[in-house]
Amino acid sequence: MISFESDYTEGAHESIIRRLAETNMEQTPGYGLDHYCESAKAKIREAFAVHDADVWFLVGGTQTNSTVIASLLREYQGVVAVDTGHIGVHESGAVEYTGHKVLTLPDHGGKMDATELEAYLEAFYADGTYEHMVIPGMVYISFPTEYGTLYSKAELRSIQAVCRKYSLPLFIDGARLGYGLMSGSNDVSVKEFASLCDVFYIGGTKVGALFGEAVVFTHAAPAHFFTTIKQHGALMAKGRMLGLQFDTLFTDGLYFRIARHADEMASILKGIFLEKGYRTFIDSPTNQQFFIMTRQRAAELHAKVRFEDWCPVDEDRIAVRFVTSWATKEENVLALREII
Amino acid sequence: MISFESDYTEGAHESIIRRLAETNMEQTPGYGLDHYCESAKAKIREAFAVHDADVWFLVGGTQTNSTVIASLLREYQGVVAVDTGHIGVHESGAVEYTGHKVLTLPDHGGKMDATELEAYLEAFYADGTYEHMVIPGMVYISFPTEYGTLYSKAELRSIQAVCRKYSLPLFIDGARLGYGLMSGSNDVSVKEFASLCDVFYIGGTKVGALFGEAVVFTHAAPAHFFTTIKQHGALMAKGRMLGLQFDTLFTDGLYFRIARHADEMASILKGIFLEKGYRTFIDSPTNQQFFIMTRQRAAELHAKVRFEDWCPVDEDRIAVRFVTSWATKEENVLALREII
Amino acid sequence: MISFESDYTEGAHESIIRRLAETNMEQTPGYGLDHYCESAKAKIREAFAVHDADVWFLVGGTQTNSTVIASLLREYQGVVAVDTGHIGVHESGAVEYTGHKVLTLPDHGGKMDATELEAYLEAFYADGTYEHMVIPGMVYISFPTEYGTLYSKAELRSIQAVCRKYSLPLFIDGARLGYGLMSGSNDVSVKEFASLCDVFYIGGTKVGALFGEAVVFTHAAPAHFFTTIKQHGALMAKGRMLGLQFDTLFTDGLYFRIARHADEMASILKGIFLEKGYRTFIDSPTNQQFFIMTRQRAAELHAKVRFEDWCPVDEDRIAVRFVTSWATKEENVLALREII
Amino acid sequence: MISFESDYTEGAHESIIRRLAETNMEQTPGYGLDHYCESAKAKIREAFAVHDADVWFLVGGTQTNSTVIASLLREYQGVVAVDTGHIGVHESGAVEYTGHKVLTLPDHGGKMDATELEAYLEAFYADGTYEHMVIPGMVYISFPTEYGTLYSKAELRSIQAVCRKYSLPLFIDGARLGYGLMSGSNDVSVKEFASLCDVFYIGGTKVGALFGEAVVFTHAAPAHFFTTIKQHGALMAKGRMLGLQFDTLFTDGLYFRIARHADEMASILKGIFLEKGYRTFIDSPTNQQFFIMTRQRAAELHAKVRFEDWCPVDEDRIAVRFVTSWATKEENVLALREII
């Protein structure tokens, strides 16, 4: 059955598989101290124009979020995120498990509003009892968001300005970064993205890799970040598996090329749904698309195509999610015309 | 340069690479809910004759140790291990990071002594102030140990008996399990191994896989272990990567075959060292071999072959470690005759 | 200046001070193993008609909340509370610091709604992704709430019924328990209170003691709760200070008598405010009273009497809090007639 | 029965009780923001000649240790202590509960050896795998130690020099600080004590107070230490109870006077034991005295006087502990002549 269930249903881009095979019996040092990791880091620095950045490779998204957040916070601090932020919902409390509260602001289509962030911080420090509360220690946003939406450059700059005013590091969860940066609606160039935050990660798992997320500290990583990674159980013995994958993805722009493909497929997919009279639940310009349909219609469609029920809309209707990826075939998208 | 530096210098057994390639574009559900994981679990249950066991796949050893240990302990409990146990030394405090103390007993060639364990537990509960101390909540041992040594079946039974007497789960770290079980000196059969403990893991990373450890709860996993894995950042989105690797390793006994090869290579290697007049630092019957040599000799050898300096023995001499693996070529072992 | 700032501005009821002095040079064993603690526990069991209850003494409220909550939850679980619950706001993230998320429901005048609790739990387990979220492990409510409001017996029974349905322990924060139980609006008798939950604590700090909270597990405390207390840094060396205070408070109904006094003072105070044309912000039947006034009026009053600005109501007006206690003198309440 | 069981069997020095009574109905702000705390801090700064020190009051020793240690360490760091250090033995894993390992060195009569500390740190950073281990982040010692022994000024300076070389804060647990400073064998003056470390605490619980420990950061406390205290459940609502006690103890040298009394009583006590032919287990110059006797003799004595069995010495003999305190009466010490 054709599937638009998620962007992690297949393995990896074929060139990754090929290189894994080609280099398989090579002997390298462990823990990311190999030449593939070095090469991948150099290519990432080049691609994002951050020549002094400190780049590290971890295995998965939840792991990356909790490791990076714990490394940036002091014990009395929490991380500010919107209520739909992945760290506060679908990560089984991994951040709290490291001792830190997720401090939530309302989301707007999955996004944080800079004005609301500033108002929260102002009110926080104006409150005479603030020392009895969790001190905000950093800000977490996702690009694209959990709803596929994007911050404009101006929006990111506004959030960054508030963060700087309050000396809060800004961390961008880029589990689907490629799909954000390559969207036709995005006005942030790859070369300027890194300048808009203090740390971000480049999602590999959902964008062509078997697994892996590349964390980019745009200035420098916290001291002893290697040890922090190990302490979080996030250090791969055969670290080159991560280096080799990111080296491949950042050779000749592969990462961005395959991400753009997914966005194009999503655009065609959305067009078909709109043609057929469906309405979007949220207007996403990236690889996750959300539509409204009756529960009955959704039930019927589940027999023909794989997708996810997202949330109830009202008594009769729900929102559903269709996801494209680097691996989506155009013929499968077009086949939706007959199916939906 | 020929390397005996560690057992995680190469990629994976070729049949794993082949199957990764063959199945690459298949679409499967995430998080280990795929048919490869199911198949691998069935094969592991069969191989270890534990038909009711609960099997889970994690990515790496430190991650597996801290996740399993945290899942079995209550907050006021610690884990008992010998002072050379991996969890207390080279895991960057991952266990303490989850709030639990590692309670140490002296090691004997890397092994725990059942009598000493019992004496510790007796003395603990005889001490009127024990409620002011960390309560022992489980026992952790490694098979083989960090020094390559093995417990005999009788020794394991003695430890298990003490654990049962005090209602402590016994957890065996099997990062190199294959190398232990296939050793000529081992008297524990694969079919009876599981009956000697409450939970163990089958190391994949060091025995033929790209990465991956299979945790086997011989009775049942703790409630909500899936959520615990996620909370520890240890849940792979493309979980089938783990299933597929273990399915391959446990098809036609591949795991045990390649492990036996490593042990045989180690045996030849040890013979060559002994022939040349070196003495062992610890007499290991598995794939890690430890020899004593002068610092100067070690320095000279480092120019010709890769291995690890282990620890000082006296002013002049150190212990060194040579490791074989599933990937070791006999010709490279034999080449040592000319080198050492 | 007359103060209605909080219920912890004075020391302790004079009979406590007297007994501290009288018993000062007595020698007793430490850590709560003394006869005062035993006697106090017996009197508490008697007062609340819970003859099998397990009673423990801790020092302060935040400490009690985080210790009790951590003792009841497994690592993958969180505690459900309303968004105004003390544990989620003014405890500096003490619960998260022990690794657990506070899962919030909307409050209704500080109270949790049983129907909303049930709806949340139903929706949680109906969500196919629930294993990626924090599992609800217990329910926390306050009696009276942080707004001075009270649950009716029927409301408590409804919440308890939902908790039982989902096997969730129900924990009642009784930092101001006396003021709740003695309120004229309260329909829960002291003898039946304990039957409505699994664990609660009797606040001493705010109701006549120098410090101290008595935790009552209505069935049995979690195993090794003594060690948990010590681990949380919550074990008093001279534990008899706690026992002696609670023994005094629960002799001849002192605790309830002084609590009733505070409620009566609050009632007179409220009457004066209403007479003077002020409106309540929340209609509290206990010792915390909340009124609405202009910012200017509040500023003027701060020069004459101590109280707390609570929160903004609109551009011009704020809510203020006036608190009575066991130590409030009627003449000071009556003096408000001239002041406000 | 006469008791030498511990130094926390009585209440508090009578002048503390008197002032508690006198000031009982005074209204003060909570959380240590009152004038008693201010006054006590000023007197402590004066007594220890640390005019810029940051002083905080906590309730008990274990709480103080885990709060101070957690506030000084980053998550990847551990605290170095000797194996008999209180934090590693009798605090129920409170330090590990906050995520940090206690890294142990051998003790010498309860003391850390500066040379061994330096050797450990040198070896640690010389080990190529140190990033896989817990990074030492601070040093913890006790003055006097858990065995009643004292560091000389030269020994403290040596430890401090090593700490400075490795940029490790030095924390001195002073649960019995008075008994150390007032010992006839002590060569560290009160005025210079603070200059020998970065943070220490002045034990009140065991030296004349009902409870309370005064933490002195000789330079400045970590940022947001108030919030850290609250997060650890260590913030007293009626904080003035702590201020008032320390204010009393540091008025007219009361703290030191009553501590000296205990040491004198210990000296007489030791003399009596030696006269009677007993041998010391450890030669302590402070208020804890350790003697060797047969198990049978100890059992007989338990019928006549209260003391603690400390540890086995050999098959027949054990070490026992007799403790004096600020409250010990000379007649009771002299009575031992007839008893032992």
Model pLDDT, residue C4: 97
B65, burial (CB in 10 Å: exposed 0-12, middle 13-18, buried 19+): buried
Q: Strand, coil or helix: what is D1?
A: coil
Tokens of C195: 């039957």
Q: Which of A225, A227, A193, A234 is nearest to A72 (CA)?
A: A225
Inform me whether the C-beta atom of residue D206 falls under 8 Å from chain C C-beta atoms. Answer: yes
- The C-alpha atoms of residue C153 and residue C186 are separated, in whole angstroms, by 8
- Chains adjacent to C (≥3 CB pairs closer than 8 angstroms): A, B, D
Residue A114: its pLDDT value, please?
Answer: 98
Query: What pLDDT is recorded for position C14?
Result: 98
The answer to whether residue D233 neighbours chain A at the CB level (below 8 Å) is: no
CA atoms within 13 A on the CB side of B189: 4
For B214, half-sphere exposure in the C-beta direction (CA atoms, 13 angstrom radius) is: 35
First to last CA, chain D: 14
Residue A225 pLDDT: 98
pLDDT tens for the 340 residues of chain B, in order: 999 999 999 999 999 999 999 999 999 999 999 999 999 999 999 999 999 999 999 999 999 999 999 999 999 999 999 999 999 999 999 999 999 999 999 999 999 999 999 999 999 999 999 999 999 999 999 999 999 999 999 999 999 999 999 999 999 999 999 999 999 999 999 999 999 999 999 999 999 999 999 999 999 999 999 999 999 999 999 999 999 999 999 999 999 999 999 999 999 999 999 999 999 999 999 999 999 999 999 999 999 999 999 999 999 999 999 999 999 999 999 999 999 9
A246 vs B40: CA distance, rounded Å: 28
Of D17, D63, D230, the CB nearest to C233: D63
The CATH number given to whatever domain includes residue C291 is 3.90.1150.10
Domain count, chain A: 2
Integer CA distances (angstroms), B103 to B109, B133, C129, in order: 18, 10, 37
Q: How confident is the model at residue A339 (pLDDT cuts 50, 70, 90)?
A: very high
Per-residue model confidence (pLDDT) at position C72: 98
> pLDDT value at position C206?
98
How much is the CA Rg of chain A, to the nearest whole Å? 20
Count of CB atoms situated within 10 Å of the CB of A147: 22
Q: What share of chain D is helix, strand, coil (3-state, %, to 5)?
A: 40, 20, 40
pLDDT tens string C187-207: 999 999 999 999 999 999 999
Percent of chain C with pLDDT over 70: 100
Interface-testing mutation among A224, A225, A228, with chain D (most D C-beta atoms within 10 A): A224
**CB within 8 Å of chain C, chain D residues 58-97:** 59-67, 91-94, 97
Clarify whether residues D144 and D274 are in a common domain: no
Q: What's the pLDDT score for residue A186?
A: 98
pLDDT at A118: 98
Q: What is the pLDDT of residues D258-306, one digit of tens each?
A: 999 999 999 999 999 999 999 999 999 999 999 999 999 999 999 999 9
In which domain, by residue range, is A330 found?
2-7+255-339
Q: Both B265 and B216 in a single domain?
A: no
What mean pLDDT comes out for the span D174-188?
A: 98
- Cα separation, A106 vs B193, in Å, equals 53
pLDDT at D67: 98
Q: Calculate the alpha carbon distances from C317 to C79, C281, C321 in Å.
A: 34, 11, 13
Contacts of C231 in chain D (CB under 8 A): 91-94, 97
Which of B253, B270, B305 delimits the end of a domain?
Answer: B253
Same domain, D195 and D281: no
Q: Which residue of B has its CA nearest to C98?
A: B99
Nearest-Cα distance to chain D for A135, in Å, is 8
Say if residue D73 is in the same domain as residue D91. yes
Q: What is the pLDDT of residues C92-149, one digit of tens each?
A: 999 999 999 999 999 999 999 999 999 999 999 999 999 999 999 999 999 999 999 9
CB pair distance less than 8 Å for C97 and A93: no
| DSSP assignment of C75-98 | TTEEEEEETT-HHHHSSTTHHHHT
- The token pair at A121 is 């911080």
Helix or strand holding residue C172 (H, E): strand C170-173
Question: How sure is the predictor about A325, in pLDDT bands with cuts at 50, 70 and 90?
Answer: very high
Q: How far is the alpha carbon of D126 from chain A, nearest alpha carbon, in Å?
A: 16
Q: Which of C44, C86, C34, C29 is nearest to C209 (CA)?
A: C44
Q: What is the DSSP string of A96-111?
A: HHTT--EEEE--BTTB
Condensed to tens digits (0 to 9), the pLDDT of residues D208-223 reads: 999 999 999 999 999 9
* Beta-bridge partners for D311: D319
Chain C 165-204, residues with CB within 8 Å of chain B CB atoms: none
CB distance B227–A92 less than 8 Å? yes
Of D204, D237, D253, which residue sits at a domain end? D253
Q: Are residues C135 and C222 in the same domain?
A: yes
B298 with B243, same domain: the answer is no
Inter-chain Cβ pairs, chain A and chain C, closer than 8 A = 56
* Per-residue confidence (pLDDT) for residue D312, from 0 to 100: 92
- The alpha-carbon gap from B127 to the nearest alpha carbon of chain D, in Å, equals 9
Shared domain check, A325 and A211? no
From the list B89, B92, B134, the residue facing D76 with the nearest CB is B92
The string of DSSP codes covering C252-292 is: TTHHHHHHHHHHHHHHHHHHHHHHTT-EEEE--SSSEEEEE
Is the domain of C300 the same as that of C159? no
Burial degree of A190 (CB within 10 A; 0-12, 13-18, 19+):
middle
Q: Which of D92, D132, D134 sits opposite B133 (nearest CB)?
A: D92
Residue B190's domain is classified under what CATH number?
3.40.640.10
* The predicted structure's pLDDT at residue B204: 98
Q: Which residues of D touch C210 (CB under 8 A)?
A: 20, 238, 241
Q: What is the pLDDT of residue C312?
A: 92
CA dist C236 and C230 (Å) reads 9
Which of A96, A98, A129 best tests the C interface by mutation, with the highest count of C CBs <10 A?
A96
- Is D106 in the B-facing interface, judged by CB distances under 8 Å? no
Q: Which of A253, A272, A303 is the last residue of a domain?
A: A253
Contact between chains at D132 and B92 (C-beta distance less than 8 A): yes
H or E element at residue A330: helix A330-339
Residue with tokens 């019995």: D176
Distance from CA of D230 to the nearest CA of B (A): 19
In a shared domain, residues C189 and C279:
no
Give A300's contacts (C-beta < 8 A, 6+ positions apart): none
- In this prediction the ipTM stands at 0.97
Q: Chain A residue with minimal CA distance to D225?
A: A76
Is the CB of A33 inside 8 Å of chain D's CB atoms? no
pLDDT, tens digit (0-9, with 9 covering 90-100), for B207-220: 999 999 999 999 99
What sign does the CA torsion over A108, A109, A110, A113 have? negative
C135 and C188 share one domain: yes
Terminal Cα distance for chain C, rounded: 14
Nearest Cα neighbor of C246 from C42, C48, C7, C80 is: C42
CA distance A86 to chain B (A): 13
- Cβ within 8 Å of A, B 120-159: none
Q: Helix %, strand %, coil % for chain B, to 5?
A: 40, 20, 40
Q: Among B140, B87, B228, which Cα is nearest to A231's?
A: B87
Output the pLDDT for position B180. Answer: 98
- Compute how many other C-beta atoms are within 10 angstroms of the C-beta atom of residue B30: 18
Q: Could you tell me if A229 and A282 are in contact, meaning their C-beta atoms sit under 8 angstroms apart?
A: no
Cα–Cα distance for residue pair B231/A91, rounded to 1 Å: 6
> D133-150 pLDDT, tens per residue?
999 999 999 999 999 999
User: Shortest CB distance from A76 goes to which of C92, C99, C309?
Assistant: C92
First to last CA, chain B: 14
Phi, psi of D12 (to 5 degrees): -135, 165
Q: Please answer yes or no on whether D133 and B89 come within 8 Å at the CB atom.
A: yes
CB A284 within 8 A of CB A180: no
According to the model, what pLDDT value does residue B331 have?
97
Interface A–B counts its CB contacts (< 8 A) at 144
DSSP one-letter code for D90: S
Q: Are residues D41 and D164 in the same domain?
A: yes
Q: Are residues B227 and B142 part of one domain?
A: yes
Q: Give me the helix-helix angle, D240-249 and D35-47, nearest 10°.
A: 40
Neighbours of chain D (3+ CB pairs under 8 A): A, B, C
Residues of chain C scoring pLDDT < 70: none
Of D90, D99, D128, the CB nearest to B96: D99
Task: Look at residues B196, B220, B175 and name the one whose alpha carbon lies nearest to residue B65.
Answer: B175
State which residue of chain A sits closest to D31, comparing Cα positions.
A132
**Confidence at residue B186, expressed as pLDDT on a 0 to 100 scale:** 98
pTM greater than the 0.90 cutoff: yes
Q: Which helix (H) or strand (E) holds B170?
A: strand B170-173
A238, B210 Cβ separation under 8 angstroms: yes
- A101 at C interface, C-beta within 8 A: yes
